[in-house]
Structure 1
């Protein structure tokens, strides 16, 4: 890595007078400063290399290890089973697509590996869960509402049901596969002792509602919110 001439000149001025104009002395300083500069540049690059929005691959794995997140999410995805159209197996698959059910060892779920985008979401979820306060509104700490909006890219908000339960309302554009994974690993922030009663998908436009909501559509035109069975 090339060393800035001004950087070398500043240190050259610190030489005692008898060596101040000696090429070898100045060259020695430049050689030593190159090593120091390379080390500084390497350390300085950490802020970019390990920035959660920019990191990828192995760097994300390192960040995940620091906060306690692995790329392998075990027993998170419901298995698709082989079956016939007789109603016994829900959404049956063909022999080449579906798994065979094992009565004694089958837990009904399979593991998956997170891609980089999912890994970032999981890391954010773990951080959000660790730092969020138990209140929807709080002037001193990061609130639960802020954590939920941060985690779901401003596509969700949380409502207190006043019965030790919460409900999350999600924009229909949000990737529901991520929600299923986060929920399976208990990574969605919430106060201790409080549960999530449900997750509801809502639509920004053409949503059915009543007259007190000026943005709502009538029964024949509006879409109904959907309660997710997870």
Structure 2
């Protein structure tokens, strides 16, 4: 800092301890460099990294840690379906495995900075959206940019479906199911329609 002595209140200007501390700080810390680094690594969401993105995640309320959904297909019968059938529904003999009563896979995955940045931006959009179909579609296009067509479909009777015309990866599906990132109108039941995954 330039002219650090001019910033001291007159009542402290003759205190050797306070003056010594401030001069020592001034010699060892360059606020201009620290402010630039703070802006680039924390404040600017487009360039933030590591702990800076973790701070943004806390601000918009989305975690870097993602609980992955495993999609084991179990042996069962069509009577087990309570909702719109999906490809993970129970299968007949020779097509599914016996359910042991234990979920076979709950895995926690930590998102990379670039994936987490995109998730933060989508959550920020979700925090201010009015949940109309055009705005949710815009949010889906941003989240799944370059993956293919995806959109919401009003099914009537307080039901809505997220339609994906491409297979979702385990991470993408987990984002849809285990986070509060993609919004839905209050009181509306949502479903996900997608082709089978290649994973």
List gaps (5 residues or longer) in structure 1: 12-30, 91-100, 138-142, 201-225
Contact 1:167–1:197, Cα closer than 8 Å, also in 2: yes
Residue matched to 1:66:
59
- Find 2:47's aligned residue among 54, 58, 65: 54
Structure 2 counterpart SS, 1:161: strand
- Find 2:175's aligned residue among 156, 171, 182: 182
Q: Which has the higher helix share?
A: 2
Contact 2:68–2:170, Cα closer than 8 Å, also in 1: no
Aligned residues: 155
- Cα distance change, pair 144–75 in 1 and its aligned pair in 2 (3 A): closer
CA separation in 2, counterparts of 1:191 and 1:175? 23
Structure 1 counterpart SS, 2:175: helix
Residue matched to 1:126:
123
* 2:67 is equivalent to residue 77 of structure 1: no
Residue matched to 1:113:
109
CA separation in 1, counterparts of 2:110 and 2:189? 26
Q: TM-score, normalised by structure 2?
A: 0.56
- Cα distance change, pair 46–111 in 1 and its aligned pair in 2 (3 A): same
Q: TM-score, normalised by structure 1?
A: 0.50
Contact 2:69–2:170, Cα closer than 8 Å, also in 1: no
RMSD: 3.9
Greater Rg by CA: 1
Higher relative contact order (CA 8 A, sep 6+): 2
Equivalent residues in 2 for 1:1-230 (5 A)?
A: 38-50=30-42, 51-74=44-67, 76-78=69-71, 89=97, 103=101, 106-116=102-112, 117-137=114-134, 143-153=135-145, 155=148, 156-172=150-166, 175-187=168-180, 188-200=182-194, 226=195
Structure 2 counterpart SS, 1:59: helix
Deviation at 1:74, TM superposition (A): 3.5
- Cα distance change, pair 190–59 in 1 and its aligned pair in 2 (3 A): same
Contact 2:68–2:107, Cα closer than 8 Å, also in 1: yes
Q: Could you list the per-position Cα deviations for residues 84-133 of structure 1 after superposition, in whole angstroms to 9, with x for gaps in the alignment?
A: x965527xxxxxxxxxx864xx3343122223143234323432321111
- Cα distance change, pair 124–199 in 1 and its aligned pair in 2 (3 A): farther
List gaps (5 residues or longer) in structure 2: 4-22, 75-92
Contact 2:73–2:97, Cα closer than 8 Å, also in 1: no
Deviation at 1:149, TM superposition (A): 2.0
